[in-house]
């Protein structure tokens, strides 16, 4: 797997700090992600990995520093040559280019599978119902659930729900896709299918993907880069071949040892 060229970064974290009350979750964080790059974030729980995805989805706001996606600030809004707090309208515009798949799927139970898939495209992107439907069918075909289009989310298994959630995120044609422990809530026998689907999506699209996972095998095959987090900082940032076989830090070695022997 070759690393895509890194001329103009897709994601930039510049001196980001995030606190919850007095608890500092991320400290002076700097990193960039290139367009089309697949980056996996690993590390012990509470190390701030999920917070990074939530900051990118604007579910949280950072306390210090700036975050930008596709050259536009996400944490701030440029108004009259000055950086200020972002307004909802501006955020919505930047957000359109970012999709997220959640650990607990978060499908809308008041809509069918079809409803979940066309909601964003019709209401946010302004697609016609026909276009959105076409897109929905195509994506359900991709995730292998074409026959479930008129089912209710509650009628689906966890694995099926997560496939629908992946399709829902893709229906927005995002530039950046955030995967937040997408297999953690699934029964073990369903995990492989979902990971295979993600691998296919990674191989066939040029979406920039940030992924938090405990599936180290998947991280190794899927990622161009793996970032090891500890205590709100990037401890180590390397291609998977290097990080998984010959990490620089003892802390990384201990973590991998603990996870792989779990």
Could you tell me the smallest distance in angstroms from the CB atom of residue 236 to other proteins? 29
List the one residue out of 154, 60, 173, 160 whose CA is nearest residue 112.
154
> Distance between CA 130 and CA 9 in Å, rounded?
35
When the beta carbons of 148 and 224 are compared against other proteins, the nearer one is 148
Which two structure tokens, joined as six digits, stand for 114? 């079809």
Torsion from C-alpha of 18, 19, 23, 24, nearest 10 degrees = 30
When the beta carbons of 98 and 190 are compared against other proteins, the nearer one is 98
Q: At what angle do helices 129-142 and 113-123 cross, to 10 degrees?
A: 130
Could you tell me the smallest distance in angstroms from the CB atom of residue 100 to other proteins? 4
Could you tell me the smallest distance in angstroms from the CB atom of residue 112 to other proteins? 9
Note the Cα 119 to chain centre separation in Å: 20
Whether 201 and 193 have beta carbons less than 8 Å apart is answered as: no
When the beta carbons of 101 and 219 are compared against other proteins, the nearer one is 101
Could you tell me the smallest distance in angstroms from the CB atom of residue 120 to other proteins? 4
List residues binding other proteins (CB under 8 A). 57-59, 88, 92, 95-96, 98-100, 102, 104, 106-110, 119-120, 123-124, 152-155, 168-169, 172
When the beta carbons of 35 and 174 are compared against other proteins, the nearer one is 174
Query: Which residues have a Cβ under 8 Å from the Cβ of 202 and sit 6 or more positions away?
Result: 38, 209, 222
Could you tell me the smallest distance in angstroms from the CB atom of residue 140 to other proteins? 17
């Amino acid at each position: 797997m070759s690393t895509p060229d890194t001329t103009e970064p897709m994601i930039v974290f510049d001196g980001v700090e995030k606190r919850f009350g007095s608890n500092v979750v991320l400290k002076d964080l700097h990193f960039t992600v290139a367009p089309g790059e697949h980056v996996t974030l690993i590390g012990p729980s509470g190390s701030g990995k999920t917070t990074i995805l939530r900051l990118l989805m604007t579910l949280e706001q950072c306390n210090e520093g700036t975050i930008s996606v596709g050259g536009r600030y996400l944490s701030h809004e440029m108004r009259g040559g000055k950086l200020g707090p972002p307004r909802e309208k501006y955020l919505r515009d930047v957000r359109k280019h970012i999709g997220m798949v959640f650990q607990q799927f978060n499908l809308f139970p008041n809509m069918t599978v079809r409803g979940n898939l066309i909601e964003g495209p019709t209401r946010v992107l302004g697609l016609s119902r026909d276009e959105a439907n076409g897109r929905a069918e195509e994506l359900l075909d991709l995730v292998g659930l074409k026959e479930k289009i008129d089912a209710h989310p509650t009628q689906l298994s966890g694995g099926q729900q997560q496939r629908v959630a992946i399709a829902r995120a893709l229906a927005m044609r995002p530039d950046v896709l955030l995967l937040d422990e997408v297999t953690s809530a699934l029964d073990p026998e369903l995990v492989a299918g979902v990971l295979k689907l993600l691998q296919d999506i990674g191989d066939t699209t040029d979406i920039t993907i940030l992924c938090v996972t405990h599936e180290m095998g998947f991280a190794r095959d899927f990622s161009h880069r793996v970032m090891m987090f500890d205590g709100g900082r990037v401890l180590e940032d390397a291609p998977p071949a290097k990080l998984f076989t010959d990490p620089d830090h003892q802390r990384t070695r201990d973590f991998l040892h603990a996870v792989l022997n779990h």
